[in-house]
Amino acid sequence: MLRLVVRNLTKHKLRSLLTVGSLVVALFLLCILRTLVTTLEAGTQAAKSNRLWVQSAVSLFVDLPLAYEAKIDAVEGVEKTCKVQWFGAYYQNEDSFFGQFAVDGDTFLDMYPEVVIVAGSRAGFLANRIGCLVGKALAKKYKWEIGDRIPLIAALFQKDDGSAWDFELEGIYEVTEPVWDDRTFFFHWDYFEKTMEATTTGQPDVGTFVVQTRQGADQVPVMAAIDQLFEHGPQRVQSTTEADFQAQFVSMMGNIPFFVAAIGGGVLLAIFLACVNTMIMAAREQTRDIGIMKALGFTDRSMFGLLTLQSMTLCVTGGLLGIGLALLAEPWIAHGMGSFFPGFAITAGTRDLGIALTLGIGVLAGIVPAWQASRLRCVEALRSME
């Protein structure tokens, strides 16, 4: 029977290839699109419940006064505070761009146990005023090694003489959770602050504060207290949990899950209809064969099975190839996505959903022609060819 299924499918090679090809594309797209959503959600899910982010109430792009740090530190329930400033420089040329942040190095590493130094050392990083930490993927991309000097050309925080900022690589990190990606560059706030103080710009402001609350502290009153503290300015703040802060980035891109679901659903529906069409055409062409087989003693049920198996074979071949292709392409896509989608990885859930949809399309696309084949009266089927 399987041989007959395969022969029937390869009878019209082009049609079968086009159907399989469309399924490959559909399942590939589905896996990739859904992975964009799961990757965004993973960042939110990995966020620690004891970390808060404090940003300007106006916009994430408005900085906060440095003096806020001491006041936040004094709020009941706050254990420590880390300054974070987006640096926005580039390496060698403007195309060599990646995320860079000035942070309180020691506090940052305390707050983020998910950031694990795998080459160099924490002590080396903390001891070197111009020391920096870079993600493993970033170090690999630029072939940086511990001790390398890395000049960055500032776009936002320029020195008066326009010279590059010099850094020394003291540590390469990996992440155990996708709270940060492994393509980011961290350096000392002190170096940033002192260098800026020496320029005509003067003392820099702070992009955001990351606040770690004491163990067991209720975050709601802590956030309320921080927000209330600066209610009358000079710059009002908005405190959020780390999960909400991450989700904010997702929402900044629009309703991505809905958008992706709409595209994926549309693609699947179109492919499903194409598969139904293919199977109905195939079944119509096989009317004579079905009549012959029934005359030979094959039952209505076996004809139903034959057509369903044919549909399943076609769809499963295309679907599995699409899923396999997505898994194969995952490292390249993850590389291409860079910092936009840190931790891009096709989850087992996405893979299983793809398999389930493939099987579903296979069964549903085959069910109508299979039912028609099973209902076909032998004499009519034989007469139709005459």
Partner 1 sequence: MIRVQDLSKSYKRGGETLTVLDGLNLEMEAGRFYALMGPSGSGKTTLLNLVGGLDRPDAGELFVAGEDLGKISGAILAQWRADNVGFVFQGFNLIPVLTALENVALPLTLTPLSRSERRAHALHALELVGMQDRAHHRPKQLSGGQEQRVAIARAVVTDPQIILADEPTGDLDRDSAGQVLDLLVQLHRDLDKTILMVTHDPHAAERAQSIVHLDKGQLGRIEDTPRALAAGD
Residue 86 touching partner 1 (CB under 8 A): no
Q: CB 8 → partner 1: shortest distance, Å?
A: 6
Give the nearer residue to partner 1 in terms of CB position, either 353 or 382. Answer: 382
Q: Identify which range of 4-12, 87-95, 221-229, 360-368 contacts partner 1 by CB under 8 A.
A: 4-12
Say if residues 212 and 51 touch (Cβ distance below 8 Å).
yes
Among residue numbers 344 through 383, which ones bind partner 1 (CB under 8 A)? 377-379, 382
Q: How far apart are CA 143 and CA 337, in angstroms?
A: 19
* β-pairing verdict for 51-56 and 78-86: unpaired
Report the nearest approach of partner 1 to the CB of residue 367 (Å).
20
Q: Pick the closer one to partner 1 by CB: 224 or 295.
A: 295
Instruction: Kindly state the smallest distance separating residue 378's Cβ from partner 1, in Å.
Output: 5
Please, which residue, 87 or 304, has the CB nearer to partner 1? Answer: 304
CA 160/CA 26 separation, integer angstroms: 54
> What is the closest distance, in whole angstroms, from the C-beta atom of residue 11 to partner 1 in the complex?
5
User: What's CA 27's distance to the chain center, in Å?
Assistant: 17
Q: What is the DSSP letter of 215?
A: T
Q: Given the DSSP bridges, would you call strands 149-152 and 165-175 parallel, antiparallel or unpaired?
A: antiparallel
Closest approach, Cβ 371 to partner 1, in A, equals: 15
Select from 276, 351, 344 the least CA-distant residue to 310.
Answer: 276
The least CB distance from residue 289 to partner 1, in Å, is 5
206: helix, strand or coil: strand
Distance of closest approach, residue 95 Cβ to partner 1, in angstroms: 56
Restricting to residues 6-45, which ones interact with partner 1 according to CB under 8 A?
7-8, 10-11
310 touches partner 1 by CB under 8 A: no
Decide whether 217 or 292 has the Cβ nearer to partner 1: 292
What lies within 8 Å, CB to CB, of 221 at 6+ separation is 76, 77
Q: Which amino acid makes up residue 170?
A: E
Among 250, 300, 320, 325, binds partner 1 (CB under 8 A): 300
Task: Select from 95, 160, 231, 386 the one that contacts partner 1 (CB under 8 A).
Answer: 386
Q: Name the residue nearer to partner 1 (CB basis): 8 or 81.
A: 8
> Are the C-beta atoms of residues 51 and 242 closer than 8 Å to each other?
yes
Residue 34 token pair: 């859904």
Please give the residues from 236 up to 295 whose contact with partner 1 meets the rule CB under 8 A: 288-289, 291-295
Q: Can you tell me which of 129, 149, 284, 301 binds partner 1, judged by CB under 8 A?
A: 301
Q: Give min distance, CB of 20 to partner 1, in A.
A: 18
Helix (H, G, I), strand (E, B) or coil at 38: helix
Whether the bond into 178 is cis, omega within 30 of 0: no
* Contact (Cβ atoms closer than 8 angstroms) between residue 124 and residue 170: yes
Min separation Cβ 294 and partner 1, Å: 7
Judged by CB under 8 A, the chain residues 119 through 148 that form the site for partner 1 are none
| DSSP symbol at 352 | H
- Of 274 and 382, nearer to partner 1 (C-beta) is 382
Nearer to partner 1, 50 or 372 (CB): 372
Q: Look at the block and give the residue holding tokens 């920096």.
A: 132
Q: Distance between CA 188 and CA 315 in Å, rounded?
A: 55
At closest approach, how far in Å is the CB of 290 from partner 1?
10
Alpha-helix residue ranges (DSSP H) falling in 47-83: 68-73
Q: Phi/psi at 165 (nearest 5 deg)?
A: -85, 130
Determine which residue in the list 202, 216, 254, 297 makes contact with partner 1, applying CB under 8 A.
297
Which residue number, 287 or 339, has a Cβ lying nearer to partner 1?
Answer: 287
| Contact between residue 89 and residue 193 where contact means Cβ atoms under 8 Å apart | no
CA distance 6 to 310: 8
**Would you tell me which residues interact with partner 1 (CB under 8 A)?**
1, 3-4, 7-8, 10-11, 288-289, 291-301, 377-379, 382, 385-386
